Every structure is written in structure tokens, then in C-alpha cells.
Amino acid sequence: MADSRARWLSAEEQSTWRAFLVATQTLFATVETQLQRDSGIPHGYYEILVNLSEAPDRSLRMTQLAEASTSSKSRLSHAVARLEERGWVERLDCPTDRRGQVARLTDAGFAALDAAAPGHVQQVRQSLFDRLTAAEVEQLAAISAAIVAGLPPNAECCSSTCDEELEGSGELTG
């Protein structure tokens, strides 16, 4: 039975919601298809490589990488295992926490990312930014920030190091 207390969407809101779903799903599918076709890399793996490439020493704790990649720890662990098999990432013990692990981008992983990036950026530009005016890009950034700000804080990026985690709360987390 339907909840009579629900705040139902207006016809305009329903239309906007559906347009948003189609746009985002189509955009993500297009980007995923390009990366798979041209580089053999799923977008989730590409995201991991990018996050590691931008980190100091191309390394992040697994928990930090999960947060930055908006992946669960178990999903990230599986993805990193596949990237390890390719020789693109290696797992190391965190030097300041026996229970923690660090993922580090290898030179081969950086080379794979470097080879995939131009096609990926071209696809993102063609599929998104070339279709918007400068004002619309600003609006999209503001709208995206408003959406994220209104959601539970479970996917915020974390930039602490192993040492900072130990100094922070006194707890050791993996």
C-alpha cells in the first residue's frame, strides 16, 4: 500500500528525474565502453589508477583508496587484486600500522594510465563538456556539489597518511 505521507514528485520533477537518470546512465555507459574498447580497462579500475597517480608517492592506504574511489572495501580489494595481476598496482604493509595496507601504483600501471588517459579525456569532453556552455558547466558543478552535500558522508575523499591516522584518533584502522 502506498504511503499517503510521501512527498510525491510533481510532473516536472518526475520528468527531470527521469532525464537525469537517462543522461547519467548513458554518459557512464559511453565512458565505460570507450575505456573497455580502447584500453581494456573498466572505469572503476581507471578511477583507482587515477587516484593513486595523484597521491604522494603514488600510494594510498586501502581505506583511503576505497573512500576516494567511492568503492566498498571488499569491491576495492577485488579490483586491486586484478590490478596486481596486471602488474599495475602493488600492495605493501603500512609502515606505521601492522594491520593496514597501502596500494602503490607501479611504473607499468602509470604507463597503462598514461596510455588510456587521452582517449578517456576525449570521450568525457565529447560526451559532456562539449555539449555544455561555460555557464552550464558552472551550474553542473554547483548542482553536483549540492547533491553530494545533501547525501550521507560515506564517500568523502580522505587524504590522511598512515601517520596522520595514528595521530588523529589513536585508533588503528585498516
Q: What is the pLDDT of residues 4-45, one digit of tens each?
A: 789 999 999 999 999 999 999 999 999 999 999 999 999 999
Q: How confident is the model at residue 122 (pLDDT cuts 50, 70, 90)?
A: very high
- pTM of the predicted model, to two decimals? 0.80
How far apart CA 174 and CA 76 sit, in angstroms, is 13
Show me where the domains of the chain are located: 25-144
CA distance 39 to 34: 8
- In three-state secondary structure terms, 32 is helix
E strand or H helix that includes residue 99:
strand 97-105
Overall fold of domain 25-144? Arc Repressor Mutant, subunit A (1.10.10)
Kindly indicate the confidence band of residue 98, based on its pLDDT and cuts at 50, 70 and 90: confident
Q: Which three cell numbers stand for residue 159?
A: 587524504
Q: How does the average pLDDT of the chain come out, rounded?
A: 86
> What are residue 89's DSSP bridge partners?
105
Number of residues that this document lists for the chain: 174
Averaged pLDDT for residues 146-161: 64
Above 60 in pLDDT, residue 103?
A: yes
Q: Which three cell numbers stand for residue 82?
A: 586484478
Looking at residue 97, what is its pLDDT? 78
pLDDT of amino acid 168: 35
Q: In this structure, are strands 97-105 and 89-94 parallel, antiparallel, or unpaired?
A: antiparallel
